[in-house]
Amino acid sequence: MSIHQSIKRVTVPQLKGCKGQRKIAALTAHSSVFASLMDEYLDFILIGDSTAMVAYGLPNTLSITVEQIAAHTAAVVRATAHACVVADMPFGSYQKTPEQAFENAAYLLSAGGADAVKLEGGEIMAPTIEFLVKRGIPVLAHVGLMPQHVNTMGGYKAQGMDEATGKQVLADAVAVERAGAFAVVLEGVKEELASAISAKLGIPTIGIGASVACDGQILVTEDMLGLNGENVPRFVKRYANLASEVQHAVQRYADEVRAGAFPESKHCFGVKSTTPSKA
């Protein structure tokens, strides 16, 4: 029996049931290599629209397509056995009508193999969330700082720093819970507000630049591993600096190639071993 047959994947109801019981740990992934390394330690893995930036070098999250997210999701699903897999819905794939959202969300579940989808928006997207959930598609909501709204927000600005935006973030969080979202991401939200929302809601809150009082946390993997340059958001804690390790390894490789030190005979085919045999 393979490991994928013997391990049960975390389900959406199990994630929802973590509220008040234990914290939820999540990260992003877009490749089978990283997904397989992190699988056993996480409750869910998000194939984020941040893939546009970390995998394709695009300036923001707005250009990635449903087909690209589905392909990356399928790679993550194939490489994992434990973590619940959530696929981000790209900009323009769900805002027009609930029917449009259902068509694209269903594609991410059928072609990508996702267990759930994530979409941005609070009160305005509540009817769409309800439409999806009633038709069998679990939804992770996302309120506060919403990267797909970067143009209307005037940049990546923390939310809830004043009374007006604070009331809106709270109203958005309440609306998505009522619509049936199983959890909600609170991004770039004032700590006090994120803590209050987490206490008020009956579904888990997943913080990113929010509060330790959230029911879980998520980060972009490349940020927390030190693979995404020096300019990282304030809320990111770097748990490693893999960029320097990768650069050092590549430099050693290039130096050995140019010096004729690699490959050695043990790396070649049809070369007799020079190791003396035992008597």
φ, ψ for residue 117, nearest 5 deg: -120, 160
How many whole angstroms separate alpha carbon 29 and alpha carbon 46?
6
pLDDT in tens, 144-183: 999 888 777 766 788 889 999 999 999 999 999 999 999 9
pTM over 0.75: yes
pLDDT at residue 3 in the model: 41
> Which pair of tokens denotes residue 233?
């958001």
Under the banding of pLDDT at 50, 70 and 90, the label for residue 232 is confident
Q: How far apart are CA 128 and CA 106, in angstroms?
A: 13
> What is the rounded distance in angstroms from the CA atom of residue 256 to the CA atom of residue 248?
12
Residues 81 and 4: beta-carbon distance below 8 Å? yes
Residue 233: pLDDT over 90: no
| Active site (annotated) includes residue 256 | no
* Bridge-based pairing state of the strands 139-144 and 24-28: unpaired
- Helical H runs in the chain? 3-6, 12-16, 32-38, 51-54, 66-79, 98-110, 126-134, 150-153, 163-179, 191-200, 221-224, 242-259
* Residue positions forming the annotated binding site for Mg(2+): 49, 88, 120
pLDDT over 70 at 17, yes or no: yes
Q: What are phi and psi of 214, to 5 degrees?
A: -60, 155
pLDDT at 191: 97
**Mean pLDDT of the residues in the chain:** 93
Tens digit of pLDDT for each residue in 111-140? Answer: 999 999 999 999 999 999 999 999 999 999
The Cα–Cα gap between 209 and 221 comes to 14
Q: Please say if the pLDDT value at position 2 is more than 50.
A: no
pLDDT at position 247 over 50: yes
Residue with tokens 């190639």: 257
Q: Catalytic: which of 130, 177, 187, 222?
A: 187
CB within 8 Å of 244: residues ≥ 6 apart? 226
pLDDT in tens, 189-205: 999 999 999 999 999 99
The share of the chain scoring above pLDDT 90, in percent, equals 85
- Rg of the chain, C-alpha, whole Å: 22
